[in-house]
Amino acid sequence: MTMPGGRRTLDLFALTLILLAVLFAQQKLSNGITSDGALYFAHLRSIVFDHDLEIAPELEALHQPQRPHHVIPIGPAIVWAPAYLAVAAVDRIGSATGAWTRTEGTDLGLTGAYVQAAALSSLFMMAVGLIVLHLRVRREFGPSIAIATSVLILGATTLAWYVILEPSMTHAVSFGCVAIALVLTERWLVDTRPTGRQGLLLGAWFSLVILVRPEDGVFLLFPLTAMLFAPVWRASALQERVRAAGAMLAGAAPLLVLQGAALAWLLSTNTFSLLGGDEAYLTFFDARFLDVLFSSRHGLMSWTPIVWVALAGTIAYAWRRPLWALPAIVAFMILVWTNGSAHDWSGGWAYGGRRFTSVLAAFTPGVAMALYGIYRRPLLLIAPVAVVIVGWNALLMTQYQRQLVPRDEAVRFDALVRQQADLLVKPPFLYPFAFPANVLFAWREGLPVDRYDLLGSEPLRREMYLPLNDWSERFMLDGWANGAGDASGSAHFLVGPTGTILVPLDVPPGTAFGIDLEARAAGGPPGGTASLDIAVNGRSLGSLPLAIGAEKPSRHNFVVPAGVRVWRRGYNRVTISRSPEAAPATTFIVYALRAGANTP
């Protein structure tokens, strides 16, 4: 039975409406030129109007902080350039004819339609990539699965943020470029062998992918895998593969030369270490891949749970289309390891796991595969929905049993919903999308699983100075109360018999480590003394005597001799206890703790 024409194209109408809604949202919500986007945009403006690469005036005009030109000055600017140049031409013509007055000085090229040219170009490239993926999924899984997949890839991931709120970042453009490259690879290298023209075009497009975001060069795995393992190449002679690879390289050459020139300029104007050494940008043998995936600091899986579905679907898709799924999985693993090796593995203050936005293009058929599995086995959807409904009722019964809601009066539903959430996340709370990293952390450190949220991504330090302020509360277990502070600084009160502070350390073997503690005592007999007992991981280091009523805190160094096994690599428990002789009225106020190499 054939489907009526309107129904056959309903998903395409829906996708068009969604993209129009994204356009409207971008016009209303965009943050303009931000963060690294300022560097790309400033370089484009400087080349077009000043014919140089000196961007300090542009950054000042954009109210961006001056930074070293550490970002290769191409990125999405090459995709923005056609629209940007068109605006510049119209601006020049309109000014020359007297239709309007052209902006002068550095502001020329940095405001109004020029900014819109960049934002709309980012949206256009993303939209083309999404449409190409939609049509590709539609051919294999049908229109219903295709539109659901497109909605999830756009709306449930970082892509929505970077096309609507921060379109000046590279991620929306890189998604579109990668999406087109992967679909062209499948059509021209997997389904058939390319003509010379197709080889040139494919090479040129992949060079654009690399130019926009060099890390996305990892997606060259797709054409490499196709030429090695696709059935259409099995009977071909080696010369044919060499000829196709040569055509792709020839097509890529012009933009790769441009990329090489940009790299040469970067290396000639900046001094930095990419690999090796403590100050290197990448440390491949110390990759924090679990943090990149699961940390509360922009972890990909914890911030974007749909990636769980995408990854599982892509693994299942390997049985159906291995020449798409397997390169996607390998590329993902390489990017996880590479980003985990970067010193700014969390991606700074930008939203979510932003550096994996382009991976979404490779995972799109995996999302479709997962949706197709749910379509064929409805229980996969019904079971989680049933769990949610039963769980909601269980939480509501708990509220009623604990009298958190009135039993014979009207109830505010907003308060009821907030209390449902409070009960659900009451410690120890296991955030499901951070699994298994949070459980492994809790097992390794002997801490409640919810401590992973704030402590899991903390680096292990060779030395740590910890003032007991609001921020440091994440390192404190029971026994403390925030004392705000006084003339001597921020402090916490010891309100229990003991208080424990967690100290994340990377203790080199044979290193003599110790503790400095700043504290004072108040209350109790004036002129008397009281002491605090100090222990590390259950081993006593001694006592800190304090004069009761002293205005300033006392500082004492507790030495741990080299070779004495007290410290461990990871979170160490520094336990501070009231001495048994201390009067009940005595208040102990602790200001700071330092753990590191012994000091005199």
Threshold 0.85, pTM exceeds: yes
pLDDT at 1: 40
Q: What is the pLDDT of residue 533?
A: 92
pLDDT of residue 169: 95
Identity of residue 516: D
User: Dihedrals φ, ψ of 513, to 5°?
Assistant: -110, 155
Look at residue 270 in the predicted model and tell me its pLDDT: 64
Domains of the chain: 11-162 (no CATH), 170-269 (no CATH), 280-376+427-457 (no CATH), 377-424 (no CATH), 460-597 (2.60.120.260)
Helix intervals (H) in 186-237: 196-212, 221-229, 231-234
Angle between helices 196-212 and 171-185 (to 10 degrees): 160
Half-sphere exposure of 352 (CA within 13 A, CB side): 21
Burial zone of 251 (CB within 10 Å; 0-12 exposed, 13-18 middle, 19+ buried): buried
pLDDT at residue 275 in the model: 56
Query: pLDDT of the chain along its 600 residues, tens only?
Result: 445 555 678 999 999 999 999 999 999 999 999 888 999 999 999 999 998 888 889 988 988 887 765 556 789 999 999 999 999 999 999 998 988 888 888 899 999 999 999 999 999 999 999 999 999 999 999 999 999 999 999 999 999 999 999 999 999 999 999 999 999 999 999 999 999 999 999 999 999 999 999 999 999 999 999 999 999 998 888 888 899 999 999 999 998 898 888 777 776 766 655 555 555 566 767 778 899 999 999 999 999 999 999 999 999 999 999 999 999 999 999 999 999 888 888 888 789 999 999 999 999 999 999 999 999 999 988 999 999 999 999 999 999 999 898 888 888 899 999 999 999 988 878 899 999 999 999 999 999 999 999 999 998 888 899 999 999 999 999 899 998 778 888 999 999 899 999 999 988 766 777 889 999 888 866 678 888 999 999 888 888 888 888 888 888 888 877 667 888 889 999 999 998 887 788 889 999 999 887 654
Q: Residue 335: what pLDDT?
A: 95
| Helix, coil or strand: residue 221 | helix
Instruction: Say whether the peptide bond before residue 428 is cis (omega within 30 degrees of 0).
Output: yes
Distance, CA of 436 to CA of 431 (rounded, Å): 10
pLDDT in the model for residue 199 = 95
Per residue in 136-183, pLDDT (tens digit) is 999 999 999 999 999 999 999 999 999 999 999 999 999 999 999 999
Q: Using one digit for the tens of pLDDT, what is the confidence trace for 19-69? A: 999 999 999 999 999 888 999 999 999 999 998 888 889 988 988 887 765
